[in-house]
Amino acid sequence: MSQIISITALASVSPLGDNSQHIWEHYLKDQHCFVQKTLDNVPTVIAPLTAATTAKIAQLKQSDSKYKFLDNSVLYAIQASRAALKQAGWSANDIFGINIGSSRGATDLFEKHHQEYLETGKAPTLSSPTTTLGNISSWVAHDLQSSGPEISHSITCSTALHAVLNGVAWLKSGMLTKFMVGGSEAPLTDFTIAQMRALKIYSRAQEDAYPNKALDLHKTQNTMVLGEGAAVCCLEIGKKDHALAFIEGIGYATEILEHNISISAEAVCFQKSMRMALKDTAFSDVDAIVMHAPGTIKGDITEYKAIQSIFGESLPLLTTNKWKIGHTFGASGLLSLELAILMMQHNTFVGVPFAPAVPQTKPIKKVLVNAVGFGGNAVSVLLTL
């Protein structure tokens, strides 16, 4: 990339909390965020927000009469975007773009309104404007009183990193100098989890010490667990002194579909996206990779094979956060990027506790972050300090 892109803020709400120091402390513990809850009369492992964060979201919901009708996916995005704006030092007078997407959008609200329709034959007045996908960025723009372009999109589980990709494109075009990007997801509903069960990818290991065995390449059953949350980061053109990290490279690719949720045996989309992101970087300079690794048999092993095909036997340190916080769908890529930045800032690798331990032998200065959605829409982002 000929122009430097600075990440000047990153804020999140997730099962780890909403404070960067607390989030990092939680990452240093071999403890996951999963709890067991009965959904649709079936015991299910999920990763909800912490009680403290949930209380803040409830307070936000009651802070404005209009916010009472918003889905949690929108409220999570507003909460994270407020924190990111403050951290970056931006104000409402700054002209910046907003691109915050979601895989499923207003999941809980849509299911609630649809159930009401089935029972009464009528839809509430606000059912359409509060469940359209575009309302996430629109409400964030309203809340921040911004004046730049606002965009929403859904590219399933790679949505957040596609927002990063889009923000980088806007900045490099010269149309703007600042862009806020992110992803938000609140999918812990009966119907959404039922869909994952129908695909036979949801974890049935309620009593296991690690219900989501992301990066266990020898597991014999799928172990994906859903989590919820949002993450937002602020991008600026140029090398900023207060930057948390810099985007050194970015890549993208799409598989040729063989099935609705297909990905090739060696994840060709990841091979292409990683090579594009690493265009001007020696493979040996990459210190770690935060993998997408959702905890499914095929998803984990195909991404691993893609990494092997590029790096050979000299693999960087490999990790994922989904064993800890679950798969947050459209928000997952930026929550992975958050882990990458924290590891670089603290020069400490955070591995997967049930995977073979690999010692850290050099400083963590370059980290590659992967995300992919149904159908093989992959994005890779190379970060550096």
Q: Is 94 exposed, middle or buried (0-12, 13-18, 19+ CB in 10 A)?
A: middle
Q: Rounded to a whole number, what is the distance in angstroms from the first to the last CA of the chain?
A: 15
The secondary structure of residue 168, as a DSSP letter, is H
**CA-wise closest residue to 179 among 339, 359, 3, 36:** 3
- Which residue in 50, 103, 56 sits closest to 83, CA to CA? 56
Per-residue pLDDT of the chain (385 residues; tens, 9 = 90+): 568 999 999 999 999 999 999 999 999 999 999 999 887 788 899 999 999 999 999 999 999 999 999 999 999 999 999 999 999 999 878 999 999 999 998 999 999 999 999 999 999 888 888 888 788 999 999 999 998 999 999 998 999 999 999 999 999 999 999 999 999 999 999 999 999 999 999 998 877 899 999 999 999 999 999 999 999 999 999 999 999 999 999 999 987 655 545 555 567 888 999 999 999 899 999 999 999 999 999 999 999 999 999 999 889 999 999 999 999 999 999 999 999 999 999 999 999 999 888 999 999 999 999 999 876 789 999 999 9
Phi then psi dihedrals of residue 335, to 5 deg:
-70, -30
DSSP-based three-state secondary structure for 212? coil
Name the one residue in this structure whose structure tokens are 């122009």: 3
Q: Which CATH class is domain 5-384?
A: alpha beta
